[in-house]
Amino acid sequence: MPIPCSSCEKKLAVLKRPKTGHSLCKDCFFWAFEEETHQTITSAKLFHQGETVGIGASGGKDSTVLAHVLKVLNERYHYGLNLILLSVDEGITGYRDDSLETVKRNQQQYDLPLKIVSYEELYGWTMDQIVKKVGLKNNCTFCGVFRRQALDRGAMMLRVDKVCTGHNADDIAETVLMNFLRGDIARLRRCTAITTGSEGAIPRCKPLKYAYEKEIVLYAYFKKLDYFSTECVYSPNAYRGYARAFLKDLESIRPSAIMAVIHSGENLSVKEDVKMPVQGTCGRCGYISSQGLCKACVLLEGLNRGLPKLGIGKHHKLHSRLLRDQPLTEREEKKLKSVDF
Amino acid sequence: MCQVEEDYKDEALQRTAALSVGQKCMKCKEGCAVVVIRVGDAFCKSCFRDYFVHKFRAMLGKTRLIFPGEKVLLALSGGSTSSSMLCQVQEGLSREASKKLRFSPGIVHIDEGAVCGRSAEERQETLMQLEAIFQASGFPYHIVYLEEVFKLPNSILQSVSSSPTSHGQNYKEAVDDFLQKQREALIDVEQRLTVEDERNVTHSEQIEAKFDQLSTSTAVSEENSATILSETSPSGKWPFTLEQTEAVKELFSSVKTLTAKEELLQTLRHHLILHTARNKEYSKIMMGDSCTRLAVKLLTNISLGRGASLAVDTGFSDNRYGDIMILRPMREYSSKEIAFYNKLFEVPTVFTPALDTKASDKASIHRLTESFVNKLQTDFPSTVSTVYRTSEKLNTACSDINSGVEQTDKCLLCLCIMDTKVEEASAFQATLISEKLSCKQSPDQMPVNKVSEQSCCDNQAEEKGKCCSTNSGACHPPVSNTTTDFLTLLCYSCRLTVKDMVSLSLLPQYVLSEAERRKRRAQVREQIQEFLLPPEDESDENY
């Protein structure tokens, strides 16, 4: 039996919103989705008139929808933003090269400028080379840390005021759960913030923070957006996988659970006497870091010295010697060399 | 210890040795190890007992919340953790005077058989087993039935501001005071004894007489519990009517999801325990939540949107009711430790089927989280303790946001501080906006600038196919008990629970009439708003 749209009550509904359970027609859904993103942007005061905003574009559904919605809203509500697509090429054959083709098409479709920064030019290593050294077990650590910094470096080159990423509600909820499971109290506190990195670094924001992943897919599907949907060829982060599976199960029991997790995350606060890492800068590259050396520099040092495990786990004691380019003892080296494939 | 381990040449060899059967206890190095706690720490029976008992006493000792002579109500389900808790209290009271626990315990058990699909006979049988345990403990006990929620007073939902005079003195003074009195009493008894000796009354007779007195007092309190909560039942057997059993069943069958049923049951259970404590003048309640249980509860509550009240829901002490404090003294034991203790020392437990017994893993958020945590725990053995430690570092956030607001009101059902007065850029507001945008709206209204806190697009409104757009500040309809009005009295999570209910009218009267009272008060407040002066000080009472 066809159901009428619960919003306009004229057209027939074509979908049931995963977030609220309402049945909507295509146009009402587009309108609601865009309007919600607009509400998020205005209520959190994400942008100011005349700013240059870099959109982290991977070619995947989230960033494609983000780029599309931002362009639409920028015109509809006269944000006066100067939008630029910003992509990172990790150097993963069979994955990133294909998705970057999508980004290049998007650039044409949306008529936005595009900047690509690659691991190879920034670090001298592609992910393919890193995986050869590190194996498939901890490679996501390298990729994640490098990408975060690469995006910032690209943003600095373009002199943008802000970077926005396509993180959706599911991603945020997943991160809340994961940080809770890992006991990472510092990240737990930061991870629900819609804008991060105020000091020194270029602020990053997540306009799709309250958009369900499923609605993003629906939006992209009905808008017939051109996006790339293949999992990375290197194994996904195992521990996040647990949190992800758990969240999907939660959603299947009670769809509002995703928002509930975010609500919980937003209302958590940490006791004042709990020790927090102090934010400083990296002694080598000047990037924000809570240690003497930032994670990216430690990982890179490990790769260059042929000690890939240097950045896996905690080896803070070695930082001062790494900074001064001093060699490590044989025993330490032996420990950091072994890679179990 | 560390040095000893380093002496071994081959680590792998040592590991296998650590798990062999004939091993000695790592603590006393004498007894035969019977149980491995933590990673590779093998304990003998008596060292395990010492370790277990010490943990309980240390928990009470370091928190210094139970004052000497205080009446403490132990909430007992009959399950392993709460039974183990009873055992610890008994142990603590049986010690010699200097080490004896100094509070006087009582037991409460809530019989939830009505909603767990059990017949009267089955319930009777379980209760008999439980009563045997309770009687053996010698503590006064109270058995309360879920049906009795229909007799609860409104006042259960009002948190009492704790009077600072009740325990104005500090802990140490209180202890000294207590010991002084005890000494005096002892001297008194001794004097009387000598007098009675002269009258040729033997010592044993004396004790017997005392014992008689004690058991009569137990019986009296038992009787009281029956009379206070119940009028005489027709059968004389149960302190409630068959209609009430049916009403409870109907209430729970009107709840659409198991998740919401569990939450509702927990809320009602807490109200009953609280009522018993108030009636019998207990000032503390002890709940048997183990570390494992709490880890599950933490993740469950995050998933239910109870982030703001995580600290009160799972911390050692919970002061949401004001006058009566909830304590969780078992929170440092893992369920495994408890199971071993109960087995080794033959602690009696009674199995009672719960709402989710035999339910599938995905039947409710509670079940899902439990199986998730247990599975993760097998892969990553530090999961439970990590989650538990994370919670130790948390505080309630909403308290400081709300303290500036006129009235720090509490949720009608869970009595936690409301977490719905949040800033505009928040998950709560975003959800309201989504709901509003998915409903019918006149086109000229389209650019919604501000969604009032009282969104009305709940399921009921949707069914009617329209959405009244009440703006904040507009007149509230005096016709009460629409779901919308009711929801505004609840915290984020309790709203989700109530949204899963078909009808509010089945809720016990005390909930409905308290809701009514709060609404009226809010209306009155609105009328006189312009004449009210802002409170000078934020140290004002909560209520």
Using the Cβ of A159 and the Cβ atoms of chain B, whether some distance falls under 8 Å is answered with: no
Which chain B residue is nearest to residue A207, measuring alpha carbons? B425
Rg (CA), chain B: 27
Report, as an integer, the average pLDDT of A186-203: 80
For residue A24, the model assigns a pLDDT of: 93
A190 and A298 in one domain?
no
Residue B372 Cα, gap to closest chain A Cα (Å): 7
Residue whose C-alpha is closest to residue B416's, from B326, B299, B278, B312:
B312
For residue B439, the model assigns a pLDDT of: 84
Last residue within a domain, chosen from A236, A267, A298: A267
A187 and A328 in one domain?
no
Last residue within a domain, chosen from A224, A245, A267: A267
pLDDT digits (tens, 9 = 90+) for B224-276: 444 344 433 334 578 889 999 999 999 999 999 999 999 999 999 999 999 99
Quote the mean pLDDT of chain B: 78
Using the Cβ of A263 and the Cβ atoms of chain B, whether some distance falls under 8 Å is answered with: yes
Domain count, chain A: 2
Which band of pLDDT confidence, cut at 50, 70 and 90, is reported for residue B362?
A: very high
Distance CA B175, CA B69 (A): 9
Distance CA B511, CA A93 (A): 62
**Binary contact (A177, B390; C-beta < 8 A):** no
Residue whose C-alpha is closest to residue A261's, from B302, B366, B296:
B302
**Binary contact (A267, B496; C-beta < 8 A):** no
Quote the mean pLDDT of chain A: 87
Report, as an integer, the average pLDDT of B406-433: 82
Domain for residue A132, yes or no?
yes
Testing the interface with A: which of B296, B391, B426, B495 to mutate, by most A Cβ within 10 A? Answer: B426
Using the Cβ of A267 and the Cβ atoms of chain B, whether some distance falls under 8 Å is answered with: yes
For residue B446, the model assigns a pLDDT of: 43
**Binary contact (A9, B465; C-beta < 8 A):** yes
Which chain B residue is nearest to residue A4, measuring alpha carbons? B465
Chain A residue numbers touching B386 (CB-CB < 8 A): 181-183
**Binary contact (A264, B301; C-beta < 8 A):** yes
**Binary contact (B304, A257; C-beta < 8 A):** yes
pLDDT digits (tens, 9 = 90+) for B172-207: 788 788 878 877 887 777 777 666 555 554 555 555
Helix/strand/coil for B72 = strand
Which chain B residue is nearest to residue A76, measuring alpha carbons? B447
Q: Which of A116-130, A141-155, A190-204 has the lowest mean pLDDT?
A: A190-204
Indicate whether B408 pLDDT > 80: no
Distance CA A87, CA A69 (A): 18
For residue A174, the model assigns a pLDDT of: 94
Which chain A residue is nearest to residue B373, measuring alpha carbons? A181
Residue among B386, B390, B435 whose CB faces A20 most closely: B435
**Binary contact (A194, B425; C-beta < 8 A):** yes
Distance CA A194, CA A201 (A): 15
**Percent of chain B scoring above 70 in pLDDT:** 75
Q: Are A55 and A42 spatial neighbours (Cβ–Cβ below 8 Å)? A: no
Domain for residue A65, yes or no?
yes
A99 is in an annotated binding site: no
For residue B405, the model assigns a pLDDT of: 36
Chain A residue numbers touching B307 (CB-CB < 8 A): 263-268
Nearest-5° Cα angle at B375, B370 to B377 = 95
Q: Which of B11-15, B30-34, B152-156, B482-486 has the lowest mean pLDDT?
A: B11-15
Compute the CA torsion angle B262, B487, B307, B427 (nearest 10 deg).
130
DSSP state of B113: G
Chain B residue numbers touching A277 (CB-CB < 8 A): none
Which band of pLDDT confidence, cut at 50, 70 and 90, is reported for residue A233?
A: confident
Q: Which of A123-127, B1-5, B177-181 has the lowest mean pLDDT?
A: B1-5
For residue A318, the model assigns a pLDDT of: 75
Residue whose C-alpha is closest to residue A106's, from A88, A89, A90, A86:
A86
Using the Cβ of A1 and the Cβ atoms of chain B, whether some distance falls under 8 Å is answered with: no
For residue B225, the model assigns a pLDDT of: 44
Testing the interface with B: which of A16, A267, A272, A274 to mutate, by most B Cβ within 10 A? Answer: A267
Residue B62 Cα, gap to closest chain A Cα (Å): 18
Rg (CA), chain A: 21
Name the residue type at position A102: T
For residue B161, the model assigns a pLDDT of: 64
For residue B404, the model assigns a pLDDT of: 37
Distance CA A214, CA A208 (A): 12
Q: Is B196 exposed, middle or buried (0-12, 13-18, 19+ CB in 10 A)?
A: middle
* Domain B65-159+238-393 in CATH 3.40.50.620: yes
For residue B230, the model assigns a pLDDT of: 40
The strand pair at A195-196 and A204-205 is best described as antiparallel
pLDDT digits (tens, 9 = 90+) for A7-20: 888 899 999 999 99
Please give the interface size between A and B, counted as residue pairs whose CB atoms are below 8 Å apart. 165
A98 is in an annotated binding site: no
Testing the interface with B: which of A16, A19, A76, A253 to mutate, by most B Cβ within 10 A? Answer: A253
Helix/strand/coil for B44 = strand
**ipTM metric:** 0.87
DSSP state of B148: G
Residue among B306, B396, B434 whose CB faces A19 most closely: B434
In the block, tokens 């892969």 appear at B379
Domain for residue A288, yes or no?
yes
Q: Which of A122-131, A282-291, B317-326, B414-423 has the lowest mean pLDDT?
A: A282-291
Indicate whether B165 pLDDT > 80: no
A288 and A259 in one domain?
no
Report, as an integer, the average pLDDT of B486-509: 92
Indicate whether B105 pLDDT > 90: yes
Distance CA B262, CA B500 (A): 12
Chain A residue numbers touching B393 (CB-CB < 8 A): 185, 270-271, 274
- B248 or A133: whose pLDDT is higher? B248
Last residue within a domain, chosen from A221, A237, A267: A267
Which chain B residue is nearest to residue A177, measuring alpha carbons? B299
Which chain A residue is nearest to residue B428, measuring alpha carbons? A263
A74 and A199 in one domain?
yes
For residue A300, the model assigns a pLDDT of: 86
pLDDT digits (tens, 9 = 90+) for B216-236: 344 444 444 443 444 333 345
A63 and A172 in one domain?
yes
Half-sphere exposure (Cβ direction) of B183: Cα atoms closer than 13 Å = 7
Distance CA B387, CA B404 (A): 32
Domain for residue A176, yes or no?
yes
Report, as an integer, the average pLDDT of B41-50: 91
Q: Where in the sequence of chain B do the CATH 3.40.50.620 domains occur?
A: 65-159+238-393
Domain for residue A4, yes or no?
no
Which chain A residue is nearest to residue B384, measuring alpha carbons? A181
Indicate whether B300 pLDDT > 50: yes
Domain for residue A87, yes or no?
yes
Chain B residue numbers touching A243 (CB-CB < 8 A): none
The strand pair at B141-145 and B104-111 is best described as parallel
For residue B56, the model assigns a pLDDT of: 94
Report, as an integer, the average pLDDT of B405-414: 69
A300 and A240 in one domain?
no
For residue A200, the model assigns a pLDDT of: 64
**Binary contact (A22, B462; C-beta < 8 A):** yes
Q: Are A164 and A56 spatial neighbours (Cβ–Cβ below 8 Å)? A: yes
**Binary contact (A8, B440; C-beta < 8 A):** yes
User: Model's pTM, two decimal places?
Assistant: 0.83
Which chain A residue is nearest to residue B493, measuring alpha carbons? A260
For residue B464, the model assigns a pLDDT of: 37
Distance CA A210, CA A248 (A): 16
The strand pair at A288-289 and A280-281 is best described as antiparallel
Helix/strand/coil for A55 = strand
Residue among A24, A183, A271 whose CB faces B438 most closely: A24
A307 and A182 in one domain?
no
Distance CA B422, CA B402 (A): 9
Using the Cβ of A180 and the Cβ atoms of chain B, whether some distance falls under 8 Å is answered with: yes
**Binary contact (B387, A17; C-beta < 8 A):** no
**Binary contact (A180, B303; C-beta < 8 A):** no
Which chain A residue is nearest to residue B361, measuring alpha carbons? A249
Distances (CA, A) of A60 to A65, A85, A260: 9, 13, 26
pLDDT digits (tens, 9 = 90+) for A143-181: 888 988 899 889 989 999 999 999 999 999 999 999 999
Using the Cβ of A17 and the Cβ atoms of chain B, whether some distance falls under 8 Å is answered with: yes
Encoding tokens for residue B309?
A: 């009240």
Q: Which domain holds residue A315?
A: 280-336
Q: Are B418 and B398 spatial neighbours (Cβ–Cβ below 8 Å)? A: yes
**Binary contact (A20, B438; C-beta < 8 A):** yes
Residue B414 Cα, gap to closest chain A Cα (Å): 16
A56 is in an annotated binding site: yes
Tell me which H or E stretch contains B385.
Answer: helix B383-392
Chain A residue numbers touching B387 (CB-CB < 8 A): 180-181, 183
The strand pair at B141-145 and A288-289 is best described as unpaired
Report, as an integer, the average pLDDT of A269-283: 76
Q: Are A66 and A164 spatial neighbours (Cβ–Cβ below 8 Å)? A: yes
DSSP state of B141: E
**Percent of chain A scoring above 90 in pLDDT:** 52
**Percent of chain A scoring above 70 in pLDDT:** 95
**Binary contact (A263, B426; C-beta < 8 A):** yes
Domain for residue A8, yes or no?
no
Which chain A residue is nearest to residue B417, measuring alpha carbons? A267
Residue whose C-alpha is closest to residue B368's, from B317, B299, B436, B314:
B299
For residue B194, the model assigns a pLDDT of: 64
Residues 6+ away with beta carbon under 8 Å from A268: A188, A189, B307, B308, B310, B394, B397
Tell me which H or E stretch contains B321.
Answer: none
For residue A235, the model assigns a pLDDT of: 65
A115 and A235 in one domain?
yes
Compute the CA torsion angle B178, B184, B185, B187 (nearest 10 deg).
150
**Binary contact (B365, A274; C-beta < 8 A):** no
Using the Cβ of A196 and the Cβ atoms of chain B, whether some distance falls under 8 Å is answered with: no
For residue B543, the model assigns a pLDDT of: 42
pLDDT digits (tens, 9 = 90+) for B370-403: 999 999 998 888 899 999 888 888 875 444 433 4
**Binary contact (B362, A249; C-beta < 8 A):** yes
